Chains A and B, each alone.
Chain A
Amino acid sequence: MARVGNYFLGHPWRILVHSFQTCALAHYVFNHQYSFGWGYGPSMLPTFLVDGDIIIFDKHHRRGRDVRVGDCVSYHIPVSPEEDGVKRVIGMPGDYVLMNSPGATSDRMIQVPKGHCYIVGDNMPWSRDSRDYGPLPLALIKGKAIAKGQLVGWKPWRWFEPVPNGLAIEESS
């Protein structure tokens, strides 16, 4: 252990360089593997709380890789570039989706264009989503929400629970 300490004290730049490398490694993990964030807002209410939920994202699904209908994804909001949002994918390229909420004045449907997806919040009356700004380019997707939870209690394995694919077809027993 003393040898490692000497190694870091030996050269003034060494500790800087290694801190930089560690930051870069953390950046790699958070941008290419897994990351976390705090959800805020009522748009996904039955799934995510208005405030306080910690969401874990799988960054392997960035740019819409292997995203299926029903997954919760985080994405750059196209009309306000500084913000990220979390919504549920209800249509992939080629699918026909309702342009408005079910039961709204018009029942027009559109086909989701190539390279886009259609995202809608679970709390439909309080959500700003593809019904406002149209289909979302898949390249704006940053990751898929795989777990949610709060750091409550003394059992870390009970902090988080998986976010299920809400539109998966259930198998009848």
Chain B
Amino acid sequence: MRPTWARLINKPSFPPPKTKWFHLRSNPRVRQFGDFGWYLFVIASWLPVVVMANDHFFELTRINGPSMYPFLNPDKDRSLTRDWVWTWKYNAQTKLARGMVVIFWSPFNPETRVIKRVVGLEGDIIRTKPPYPVATVQVPPGHVWVEGDGDVTQDSNTYGPIATGLIIGKVTHIVWPLHRVGRVKWEEYAGKIRHSRP
């Protein structure tokens, strides 16, 4: 108990009362930056963890274009809100399957990300669509053939099969809007995809 005169003039007690971080905050080297500096340090020490999680494990992504139109952003002409999806990034470049929705770096612009559906895996023979110069093509090793669901899309029919190293993540869940929240059922699309094994 502090003496009465100290409590009456509200003099700060010394040593200060023990708080949660007392052991480290009582270190004079830490105290020189004050409480604000300490909390700033605590927040900053978690930033690399967030970066690592976003790089390699998961990320919340906003879908911003018409390329997956009936499946994502179905209200693109009626509202300004856009879909948010949950992207899983661990082992995203392996165990790919036809029908999966993936996000990858655009081959034409290395700073933009695009979302498409995997249509063919390596070795598949694909019947291409108009912009592509030849009618059928076999997907080379280490590549996949991706196409958007919508009509307004720039996909493998424009730039050819993409290397799996470009793939950032697989879209696993729709997070927003609320009436379509749920897992992405890519297996249902896998059967509709046209391809043939050699």
B49 contacts A24, C-beta separation under 8 Å: yes
Contacts of A20 in B (CB 8 A): 49
B109 contacts A76, C-beta separation under 8 Å: no
The answer to the question of A63 belonging to the interface, with a C-beta cut-off of 8 Å to chain B, is yes
Q: How far is the CA of A141 from the CA of B51 in the complex (A)?
A: 20
For A21, give its contact among B46, B109, B111, B164 (CB under 8 Å).
B46
The answer to the question of A114 belonging to the interface, with a C-beta cut-off of 8 Å to chain B, is yes
Q: Chain A interface: which size bin?
A: 20 to 34
7 additional A-B pairs beyond A27-B55, A115-B107, beta carbons within 8 Å, are: A4-B23, A24-B49, A24-B51, A80-B141, A115-B106, A137-B110, A141-B110
B26 contacts A137, C-beta separation under 8 Å: no
Contacts of A76 in B (CB 8 A): 163, 165
The answer to the question of A167 belonging to the interface, with a C-beta cut-off of 8 Å to chain B, is no
B51 contacts A81, C-beta separation under 8 Å: no
Q: How far is the CA of A64 from the CA of B108 in the complex (A)?
A: 12
State the B residues within 8 Å of A (CB): 23-24, 26-27, 45-46, 48-49, 51-52, 55, 93-94, 105-111, 140-143, 159, 162-166
Contacts of A27 in B (CB 8 A): 48, 51-52, 55
Contacts of B111 in A (CB 8 A): 63
Mark contacts of A14-47 with chain B using CB atoms, 8 A cut-off: 1 yes-contact digit, 0 otherwise.
0000001100110110011000000000000000
Can you name 17 A-B pairs with beta carbons within 8 Å? A3-B24, A4-B23, A4-B24, A6-B23, A7-B24, A21-B48, A21-B49, A24-B48, A32-B51, A78-B165, A79-B163, A81-B93, A81-B94, A137-B162, A137-B163, A139-B105, A139-B107
Contacts of A141 in B (CB 8 A): 110
Q: How far is the CA of A6 from the CA of B24 in the complex (A)?
A: 9
Indicate whether A139 sits within 8 Å of B106 (C-beta atoms), given known contacts A20-B49, A78-B142, A79-B142: yes
Q: How far is the CA of A32 from the CA of B24 in the complex (A)?
A: 30
Majority-rule SS of A interface residues: helix
CB distance from B79 to the nearest CB of A (A): 31
The answer to the question of A146 belonging to the interface, with a C-beta cut-off of 8 Å to chain B, is no
B110 contacts A63, C-beta separation under 8 Å: yes
Q: How far is the CA of A81 from the CA of B110 in the complex (A)?
A: 18
B107 contacts A25, C-beta separation under 8 Å: no
A79 contacts B106, C-beta separation under 8 Å: no
Q: How far is the CA of A133 from the CA of B111 in the complex (A)?
A: 22
A10 contacts B23, C-beta separation under 8 Å: yes
Q: How far is the CA of A63 from the CA of B111 in the complex (A)?
A: 7
Contacts of A63 in B (CB 8 A): 105, 110-111
B105 contacts A137, C-beta separation under 8 Å: yes
Contacts of A68 in B (CB 8 A): none
Closest A residue to B160 by beta carbon equals: A134
Closest A residue to B93 by beta carbon equals: A81
Mark contacts of A63-80 with chain B using CB atoms, 8 A cut-off: 1 yes-contact digit, 0 otherwise.
110000000000011111
Q: How far is the CA of A27 from the CA of B50 in the complex (A)?
A: 11
Q: How far is the CA of A6 from the CA of B162 in the complex (A)?
A: 54
Contacts of A139 in B (CB 8 A): 105-107, 110, 166
Q: How far is the CA of A7 from the CA of B19 in the complex (A)?
A: 13
The answer to the question of A140 belonging to the interface, with a C-beta cut-off of 8 Å to chain B, is yes
Contacts of A133 in B (CB 8 A): 140
CB distance from B19 to the nearest CB of A (A): 13
